Every structure is written in C-alpha cells, then in structure tokens.
Amino acid sequence: MADLEKKIDIGDGAAIPDPKDKGLLSAWWIALIGTISLLVLLPLIKPDPYGKVLQFIPDGILVTFEVTILSISLALVIGLITGLGRISSNRFFNLAASLYVEVVRGIPLLVQLFYIYFALGRFVRVPDIVAAVIAMSFCYGAYMGEVFRAGIKSIDFGQTEASLSLGFNQRQTMAYVILPQAWRTILPPVGNEFIALLKDTSLVSILAVSDILRRGREYASESFNYFETYTMIALVYLLITLILSKLISNMEHRLSHYERR
C-alpha cells in the first residue's frame, strides 16, 4: 500500500519501457531499431533530399535542447515554489499557488506562447527564444507544482514529527528531511515531463525560433520536399524521445533498487 501511495502517475509524457512490461519493452526495441535503420538507410538510398535534410537540421537540434533545458530548469524552480504553496497553511500563498495551477493548466500552451510573444510584445519586446523559454517554463511550472506537491505529500508525516522533535524548525525539516526524500519520488515524473516538454518545443517554431521543426519547415519551403522533410523530422524526434525514455526507465529501476536496499 505504501508503494502505491508513493507512485506519482503523470500521463502526458512518453511511454517509459518498463522491464516488467515485456510488450512495451519489445515495442521500444522495435521502434528504436526501426528508427535508426530508417535514419541511416534513407539518406544512403536517396541522399537528395533525405541526406540534405539531416545536414540542414543539426543546429535546430541544439536549439531544441537549449530551449528544453532552460525551460525545465526554470519550471523546476517555479514548480517547487508552487508545490510548497499548494501545501502551505498560509491561505494567501496557498490560494495564489492554486490559482496559478488552475489558470495555467486550463489554457493551451500554444495560446500561452502567442500571448507572451505577441500580446505582451506590444508592451515589452523580448527575443524569440526568451519568450519561448518563459512561456514553456511558466506552463510546465504548473505541472511541476503538482508533481512536487504529490511528492512531498508521499512522505510519511512521522518524518516531520521526528524532525521537529529533534529541534528542527519547519523550514529546516522541509529542506533537510522532506525534500531530499521526496526528490527520489519526484525524479521519474520530472524526467517524463522533460520528454513531454521537449516534444512541445516544436510549438516554438511559430515564434521564429530555429528549432528542429522550424529548420525542417525552412528546408521544405525551399525544396518543396514536404513528405521527405517531415519524415526525417519525425524520425529525429522519435529517436530522441526513445533514448530519453530508456534513460528515465533505467533511472526509475535504479531508484527502486536503491529503495529496496
């Protein structure tokens, strides 16, 4: 029962290949081998345009990871503050955090991107990539807030009582006792959100940010090879997602093995 209470179910990320789920694990291997094979064979069989697409998008891959890493880092900070606010006994802090989660999660990410870049751009003009990072982190901060809240709540209240009995105050208890333990529970869903955010970065191409999709659109508009271009773009995204999902699966396995010890 304790294991069920500690599990945080986040459903908007990738399918994580669990060793216990033989079907999903087999599907992961088939998808990985198939994706790599296509990425290698298509440019060899038809260098123009498949090979040219791969040569055109490497800088877009770097921009995609740059936006993703910056956004997830800021989202973690926002999420921690929001999560603490959601469990706070301070009514104002709790209401502000709850309102932020309710409002942000009720507005599509694409609308938030448009709003920050175009609507607020009438008053404060920010660079494309900065607007993208702000919008992505602001949106995912709300989801991270719920992850942190659930992770903190999963720690038995006896840990808090024991810490307070040893002379720690509430802040010290949260910083030195609760959060370090909650972090092990939080890490897997954070990794899942990382993958979800990486996929959602494809939306920032509408802000003229030169990510993978933007670079693909630029090539397709010049060559008119839309089928070939978007085939390669989809395969690149799929390969990145498959690799990251396996890394998260390994991390979850190590964490569960560590907890059993």
Range with the largest mean pLDDT of 73-77, 117-121, 205-209:
73-77
Instruction: Say yes or no to pLDDT of 8 above 60.
Output: no
Token pair listed for 17: 């290949």
* Lowest mean per-residue pLDDT among 24-28, 101-105, 236-240: 24-28
Q: Confirm whether 129 is domain-assigned.
A: yes
Hey, what are 43's tokens?
Answer: 């440019």
Domain residue limits at 213: 45-260
Q: What's residue 66's pLDDT?
A: 94
Helix boundaries (H) for the chain:
2-6, 22-45, 52-56, 58-86, 91-105, 109-114, 128-153, 157-165, 170-173, 179-200, 212-223, 226-260
- The Cα-based distances of 161 to 1, 22, 44, 157, 169 in angstroms read 21, 42, 64, 6, 10
Average of per-residue pLDDT values in the chain: 86
Decide if 182 contacts 154 (C-beta within 8 A): yes
Tokens representing 11? 């459903």
The whole model's pTM is what? 0.84
- The DSSP output letter for 205 is G
Half-sphere exposure of 101 (CA within 13 A, CB side): 23
Confidence of residue 12 (pLDDT cuts 50, 70, 90): low
97 domain-assigned: yes
pLDDT at 158: 81
Q: Over the stretch 139-178, which tens digit does the pLDDT of each residue have?
A: 999 999 999 999 988 888 888 788 878 888 888 888 888 8
* Residue 23 within a domain: no
234 has pLDDT over 60: yes
In the chain, how many domains are there?
1
In percent, the amount of the chain with pLDDT more than 70 equals 89
Q: Which residues of 109-147 are buried (b: 16+ CB within 10 A; e: fewer)?
A: beebbbebbeeeeeeeeeeebebbbbbbbbbbbbbbbbb
Asked whether residue 70 is domain-assigned, the answer is yes
In a domain, 72, yes or no: yes
Q: What is the CATH number of the domain that holds 223?
A: 1.10.3720.10
Whether 260 has a pLDDT exceeding 70, the answer reads: no
Q: What is the pLDDT of residues 114-140, one digit of tens each?
A: 988 888 777 888 888 999 999 999 999
Q: What's the pLDDT band for 105 if we cut at 50, 70, 90?
A: very high
